[in-house]
């Protein structure tokens, strides 16, 4: 798919120097001390809701103010203008009953910024200016309940967020945005919905635009509002292959430094940062002056942390001018090239590298495999069911598998409810989730609930290549790794030859046709029971071991998973023998 030319231009520019983003829009608007009448203008004079504070509306009612702010930032040295669209989405605009205006707001905001940027580019053709279409976080969160009495409740769904983001993004690119900026992310699931939406938009339009992603560390805990660390946040969104990944808002440059350094350590892409001008004072104003901001940012540049830098709340053209001077002549951060690895996350990261030992998956939250868990779920005793997950994590599970495949259960509803409740339990949510189902609808419902990078269990060639490709592409778009069963149109692979033939075929389809990262492919070549009394079964364990060896030798970076307990199933009820078989097998 062809990319907007701004992508390569910006990448080339970032190889030469640190790129300047603009500063705060709201801070500059506040200087005008606008009245309710200013926000309304003639067009909205009789609007039934109060409109003061709806800054996005000013692109329609007071466009000269927004134009002048854009001009001031370019004059100060900014390379990239952000559109005045932080809340210009259907969800946020519902507060003003202005949902129908969302396309117009985004189009006009992008067009206005485009005009200013083009005028400056014409004056200095050797220094083009760019327009970033801003997609803000919305005023709702997909990972946190608004009801303290019901931690599983949500007031917005992934699908609603994706629809709202796609509508806004389409209007931004229609208006002339060079790139999209998903920013001030306090809940990674919201950002995953935004990524899903823009990928769907790009597919529909047959063209890509560069995407910047910027999260928000809310306090000294070093976590987003929804609880993720910087590396967990990065792992959850790296599938977007963004132009840059960074941090903005909430903190000043002094407190944000450690987290920008962490992003610079882990990100295999350019790093952006646009901090606040310190913390707000008792009047809600920001006191960090331009010189002090520039001193901090200059040190970041000297340390090699940044590729793109600007300002957020409290910053002004004076701050951007000082920052531009502070980073002038400083080398941009060098982009690391870490070795391929399956990089998962819950609230915390789980990186499976060549040095990793066995990764333990807790599989007791499974209605088909645990009679106790099934009984609790069927009775609606979710709090007690959560204790099973908590115990597994306490006992060393690094991933928690959740399965709701039961004929008498609404699997989609149960999966959604349980994963939402898990999200409110930090002791459980710190590890990645494996969403386990034989039904794609349940898998997809689960994918729309997890803010980290999880694993789909599973997909296969059972229904043919077209369905396999479709599901793999969706796994990729949701940002998940996938267990791929050694199962094709004929059936499950029950011999060494069939195992490697199916796995190689699946690998080629995934890596060569779908663009699925090899390190996110986890093959399950099927562990079957031995010692069943049937001679043909005697080689099942050896066949699995040999298939694993072959996969590691011939399918680079792919991982292997297996249900070890299956090998001893013929001895169910005889735990000492089963444990001995498991030990030998491992």
For residues 310 and 21, what is the distance between their CA atoms, to the nearest angstrom? 4
Tokens representing 254 are 């002094």
At residue 563, the 3 state secondary structure works out as coil
Does residue 561 share a domain with residue 416?
no
Residue 267, judged by CB atoms within 10 A of its CB (0-12, 13-18, 19+), counts as buried
Q: What is the pLDDT of residue 284?
A: 83
Number of domains into which the chain is organized: 3
319 C-beta neighbours (distance < 10 Å), count: 28
Does residue 512 share a domain with residue 369?
no
Does residue 412 share a domain with residue 321?
no
Q: What is the pLDDT of residue 582?
A: 79
Q: What is the pLDDT of residue 3?
A: 93
Q: What is the pLDDT of residue 436?
A: 98
Which among 392, 348, 395, 347 is positioned nearest to 366, based on CA atoms? 392
131: domain CATH number?
3.20.20.330
State the residue range of the domain holding 566: 454-586
Does residue 464 share a domain with residue 365?
no
- Domain assignment present for 353: no
Q: What is the pLDDT of residue 581?
A: 79
Residue 26 is inside which H or E element, if any? helix 26-30
Q: Which residues of the chain have pLDDT under 70?
A: none
What distances in angstroms separate CA 184 from CA 480, 486, 579, one per listed residue?
A: 23, 42, 50
For residues 394 and 427, what is the distance between their CA atoms, to the nearest angstrom? 8
Which tens digit of pLDDT belongs to each residue from 177-206? 999 999 999 999 999 999 999 999 999 999
- Among 403, 438, 473, which residue terminates a domain? 438
Give CA 386 to chain center in angstroms: 25
- Domain assignment present for 82: yes
Tokens representing 175 are 């208006």
Q: What is the pLDDT of residue 402?
A: 98
Does residue 199 share a domain with residue 95?
yes
- Domain assignment present for 332: no
Contact partners, residue 221, CB within 8 Å, separation at least 6 = none
509: domain CATH number?
3.20.20.20
Q: What is the pLDDT of residue 195?
A: 98
Give CA 188 to chain center in angstroms: 6
- Domain assignment present for 336: no
Does residue 458 share a domain with residue 431?
no
Which among 169, 299, 176, 145 is positioned nearest to 240, based on CA atoms? 169
Q: What is the pLDDT of residue 497?
A: 97
Residue 3 is inside which H or E element, if any? strand 2-3
Does residue 307 share a domain with residue 202?
yes
DSSP state of 44: T
Does residue 222 share a domain with residue 368?
no
At residue 5, the 3 state secondary structure works out as coil
- Domain assignment present for 586: yes
- Among 405, 438, 471, which residue terminates a domain? 438
DSSP state of 20: E
Does residue 504 share a domain with residue 419?
no
For residues 102 and 109, what is the distance between their CA atoms, to the nearest angstrom? 11
218 within 8 A of 224, measured Cβ to Cβ: yes
- Domain assignment present for 339: no
What distances in angstroms separate CA 103 from CA 135, 164, 180, 398, 572, one per listed residue?
A: 13, 10, 15, 44, 61
- Among 394, 414, 438, which residue terminates a domain? 438
For residues 420 and 32, what is the distance between their CA atoms, to the nearest angstrom? 43
Contact partners, residue 370, CB within 8 Å, separation at least 6 = 364, 388
Does residue 182 share a domain with residue 56?
yes
């Amino acid at each position: 798919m062809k990319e907007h030319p701004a992508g390569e231009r910006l990448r080339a520019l970032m190889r030469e120097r640190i790129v300047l983003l603009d500063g705060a829009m709201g801070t500059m608007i506040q200087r005008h001390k606008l009245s309710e009448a200013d926000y309304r203008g003639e067009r909205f004079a009789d609007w039934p809701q109060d409109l003061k504070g709806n800054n996005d509306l000013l692109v329609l009612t007071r466009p000269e103010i927004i134009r002048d702010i854009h001009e001031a930032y370019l004059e100060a040295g900014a390379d990239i203008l952000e559109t005045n669209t932080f809340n210009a989405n259907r969800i946020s605009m519902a507060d003003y009953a202005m949902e129908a205006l969302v396309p117009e707001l985004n189009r006009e905001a992008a067009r206005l910024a485009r005009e200013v940027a083009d005028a400056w580019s014409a004056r200095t053709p050797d220094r083009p200016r760019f327009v970033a279409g801003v997609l803000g976080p919305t005023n709702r969160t997909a990972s946190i309940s608004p009801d303290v009495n019901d931690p599983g409740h949500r007031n917005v769904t992934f699908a609603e967020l994706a629809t709202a983001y796609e509508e806004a993004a389409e209007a931004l690119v229609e208006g002339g945005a060079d790139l999209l900026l998903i920013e001030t992310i306090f809940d990674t699931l919201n950002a995953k919905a935004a990524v899903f939406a823009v990928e769907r938009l790009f597919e529909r339009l047959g063209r890509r635009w560069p995407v910047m992603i910027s999260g928000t560390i809310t306090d000294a805990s070093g976590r987003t509002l929804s609880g993720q660390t910087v590396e967990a946040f990065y792992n959850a969104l790296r599938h977007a292959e963004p132009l840059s990944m960074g941090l903005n808002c909430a903190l000043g440059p002094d407190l944000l430094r450690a987290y920008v350094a962490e992003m610079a350590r882990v990100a295999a892409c350019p790093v952006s940062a646009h901090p606040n001008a310190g913390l707000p004072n008792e009047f809600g104003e920001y006191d960090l002056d331009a010189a002090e901001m520039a001193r901090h940012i200059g040190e970041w540049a000297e340390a090699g942390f940044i590729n793109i830098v600007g300002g957020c709340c409290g910053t002004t053209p004076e701050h951007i001018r000082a920052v531009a001077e502070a980073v002038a002549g400083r080398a941009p951060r060098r982009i690391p090239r870490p070795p391929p690895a399956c990089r998962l996350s819950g609230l915390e990261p789980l990186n499976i590298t060549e040095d990793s030992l066995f990764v333990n998956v807790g599989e007791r939250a499974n209605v088909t495999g645990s009679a106790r868990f099934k009984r609790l779920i069927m009775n609606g005793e979710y709090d007690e069911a959560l204790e099973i997950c908590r115990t597994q994590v306490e006992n060393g599970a690094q991933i928690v598998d959740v399965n709701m495949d039961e004929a008498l259960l609404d699997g989609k509803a149960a999966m959604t409810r349980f994963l939402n409740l898990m999200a409110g339990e930090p002791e459980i949510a710190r590890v990645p989730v494996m969403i386990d189902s034989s039904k794609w609808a349940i898998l997809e419902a689960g994918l729309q609930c997890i803010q980290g990078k999880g694993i789909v269990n599973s997909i296969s060639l059972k229904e043919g290549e077209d369905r396999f490709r479709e599901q793999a592409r969706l796994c990729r778009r949701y940002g998940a790794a996938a267990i791929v069963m050694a199962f094709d149109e004929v059936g499950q692979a029950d011999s060494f030859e069939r195992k490697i033939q199916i796995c190689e075929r699946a690998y080629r389809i995934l890596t060569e046709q779908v663009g699925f990262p090899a390190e996110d492919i986890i093959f399950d070549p099927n562990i079957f029971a031995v010692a069943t009394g049937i001679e043909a079964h005697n080689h099942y364990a050896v066949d699995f071991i040999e298939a694993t060896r072959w996969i590691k030798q011939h399918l680079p970076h792919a991982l292997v998973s297996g249900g070890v307990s299956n090998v001893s199933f013929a001895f169910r009820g005889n735990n000492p023998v089963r444990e001995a078989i498991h030990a030998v097998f491992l």
